[in-house]
Structure 1
């Protein structure tokens, strides 16, 4: 790992530590049975969903730091692989060092490879909006600020674009969120996998302060809100490579 990578990871750790320290002081006053995780927004499934009978589907979502988004979808049944990476910019700037500057047009994103016979694109969208991130936060998620942390769906087909756009309209009409949804829907031009040290980060670092405070609650929410879709065994990138 380069000096820059260590520096940026240290910064993210510091953000997590600051929030974690405050939260720990508050939660210490609660009964042991109190759940410290934020509640997910319980939402209905999309009114329309994919119809193509394919063996493999691809979905690309951006919703803040890719550590947590990857971790959520790795625990979804039917997901074969979920890779952290960058989408929205060019290959020349698809590095953590460049993307962290916020001027590359890239978003931290996750490419999900899934079995449509076990989980549909619409179900993945439902999880994305419900527990993976907050779709009402413009160009930030939690402690992470910048356009690289924006909420965006990168579609790989006209059908995906129709499903995603229709679902956002459905959720807005039903006023299920306190603020307007700011998620963008864009056609995907390319996805670039992130550096190896970012892959499977949540699973490999479950006690990391940033992960504990910002991301482990998402896994608990997935288990609680989508019990039939939850997989206790994550689909890890390193296993897929092996």
Structure 2
């Protein structure tokens, strides 16, 4: 399976208005790419700002420069009152994230002199309740999950190595997909994560059992998936290509 191509945003509002939401959001996402923000960050920003822009367009508010603090407060109330298809309200975390991304967009408009000030700068974001996980797996349950892959096949060995690495390190999906063979440092029992969260490099401890499964994958399975001998990415698809976060999620759900 080839890597997913980035889908272009569908136009909204007046695409020819240089001061409209569509054009400015396009400039903003391009600025984020030029400044090395991750695609996940850019995609998230675009989704939430686009949602806010469409809410504004429904009220004949076509440009960010006509937005005021009371308008954003009205949008905040609409998030609070919104109900999903199952009748439940948006989670506080979702409301918080929505407003946070809108605030970041307006801060960028000020930074690049599109606006003299941000109407969102003094918006009080919803407090997020501190919660504990609803369910904690027992040791037996963890073992049953880790033993799900069929380790008589190359893909099964790969999946077991991935699960063991997730369990041992807690790294993110994108970080797992970006691991290179040389990032595994057996003597230090650590992984080198390059450009992880916040575009920062870091070392992550990893347990011996996970290292054993990675070694088994490299020795017994990876060459059977590999098509290009120059490919240094650790975990590969059955087509010999690097995994992407979405396909990794699908593998983990099986």
Q: TM-score when scaled to structure 2?
A: 0.24
Larger relative CO (CA 8 A, sep 6+): 1 or 2? 1
Larger relative helix fraction: 2
Which protein is bigger by CA-based radius of gyration? 2
